[in-house]
Amino acid sequence: MRLYPGFALALATMVVLAGCQRTVSQPYYLILDRAVKEYFLPDGDKSTAIQILQEACADNSDNPDLLCYNAGVLLLREGRPEQALDYFERALDYKDIPLYRSAVASARLQAGSAPGSDFQKQAAQIIQGCRNQESAVVADILSALESDADSRFARFVSQPLIEQCLENLAKADEMAQARNRIQSIRDQMPDYQGEWKAIQLSMHPLNRLWNPFWKYGQNPGNVPAVQAWAATLDAARSGSAGATEQAARRFFGLPELTGSDQGVALRRAGALLILQDPFFDGVRSGGLKALAQSNL
């Protein structure tokens, strides 16, 4: 799960356009409430939830960065990393913080490996050409090795499997040229495992699980609601169903989360996450489910 904290934002006046509700500057907890209900409740519509956040990202004057970010979160959950990347980049344009930089970096990696991406199509063509022993593939490989436009693709064609393909199909002078370039690329090859670990560490430990209170990625500090939700997530991460239920009970019982629209919306968001998000699958006891359902 690549949680992105901060599913909380501003609402906008609703205008009905062709059957769609449009958000224009509303308190964040109302946008949160609508999107979470649409996405997680059985009678909701996931595409509507995404649309709510996409429109709010474009139109909402209150914290548009968080709206853009969470639109990206939903798009990632739906397996659409290239679109998610667009919204993470919009969030980063609004506010340059580590959370958004990490989201952009992660989505770029995922978008590049998506089945329909240009990278995957080009890679598949070269692999197929090598399998079929097609001499025309040599020109494609050499072109990729010399290209500065897509360094990732140059790294792909510098791997041993493609080098062996060249040895079988290329002329001697072509192979000599390719070997020099391949070695140069390998010498500059980044540490992908280290890069991915750094990205993961710089993001919230829960990956894509929304945290309504982690606005702008701040630490829990002295905010009781943030501390209580963080404790609930920590307990779930530890795998203890009993500790998770106990922490969730403290969270839902906070005075700060009663008596206001914001409190109701955030309690409901937490309840839906507990009931629906895979992060809680291992600790979703009967008691925890009943507790969450009572806060919907």
- Please enumerate in sequence order all residues whose Cβ is within 8 A of that of 95, keeping only pairs 6 or more positions apart, or say none: 65, 216
Last residue of a domain, one of 172, 187, 202: 187
Helix (H) or strand (E) segment spanning residue 59: helix 46-59
Domain assignment present for residue 64? The answer is: yes
- Same domain (yes/no): 19, 83: yes
What is the pLDDT averaged over residues 249-266?
85
* Out of 23-37, 186-200, 282-296, least confident range: 186-200
Q: Which domain holds residue 163?
A: 118-187
Is the pTM higher than 0.75? The answer reads no
- Please enumerate in sequence order all residues whose Cβ is within 8 A of that of 87, keeping only pairs 6 or more positions apart, or say none: 54, 57, 68, 69, 71, 72, 75
Which of helix, strand or coil describes residue 215?
helix
Domain assignment present for residue 45? The answer is: yes
pLDDT band at residue 23 under the 50/70/90 scheme: very low
pLDDT, greater one: 199 or 264:
264
Q: Report the share of the chain in percent with pLDDT over 70.
A: 75
pLDDT at 93 over 80: yes
pLDDT band at residue 205 under the 50/70/90 scheme: very low
- Please enumerate in sequence order all residues whose Cβ is within 8 A of that of 129, keeping only pairs 6 or more positions apart, or say none: 136, 137, 140, 165
pLDDT at 35: 86
pLDDT band at residue 197 under the 50/70/90 scheme: low
Instruction: Quote the number of domains for the chain.
Output: 3
Q: Is the CB of residue 223 less than 8 Å from the CB of residue 25?
A: no
Domain assignment present for residue 208? The answer is: no
- Same domain (yes/no): 100, 132: no
Last residue of a domain, one of 187, 208, 228: 187
Last residue of a domain, one of 85, 112, 139: 112
Long-range contact set of residues 198-204: C-beta below 8 Å, sequence gap at least 24: 199/102, 199/105, 199/106, 199/109, 200/2, 200/106, 202/98, 202/101, 202/102, 203/2, 203/3, 203/4, 203/99, 203/102, 203/103, 203/106, 204/3, 204/4, 204/5, 204/99
pLDDT at 55: 93
What is the pLDDT averaged over residues 251-277?
84
pLDDT band at residue 18 under the 50/70/90 scheme: very low
pLDDT, greater one: 124 or 86:
86
pLDDT at 284: 94
pLDDT digits (tens, 9 = 90+) for 107-166: 877 776 555 557 777 888 888 889 899 989 999 888 888 875 456 778 778 888 888 898
pLDDT at 53 over 50: yes
- Same domain (yes/no): 223, 171: no
pLDDT band at residue 191 under the 50/70/90 scheme: low
Domain assignment present for residue 52? The answer is: yes
Domain assignment present for residue 285? The answer is: yes
pLDDT at 12: 21
Residue 87 belongs to domain with CATH number:
1.25.40.10
pLDDT at 221 over 50: yes
- Same domain (yes/no): 100, 122: no
pLDDT at 16 over 60: no
Q: Report the share of the chain in percent with pLDDT over 90.
A: 19
pLDDT band at residue 192 under the 50/70/90 scheme: low
pLDDT at 22 over 50: no
Average per-residue pLDDT in the chain? 76
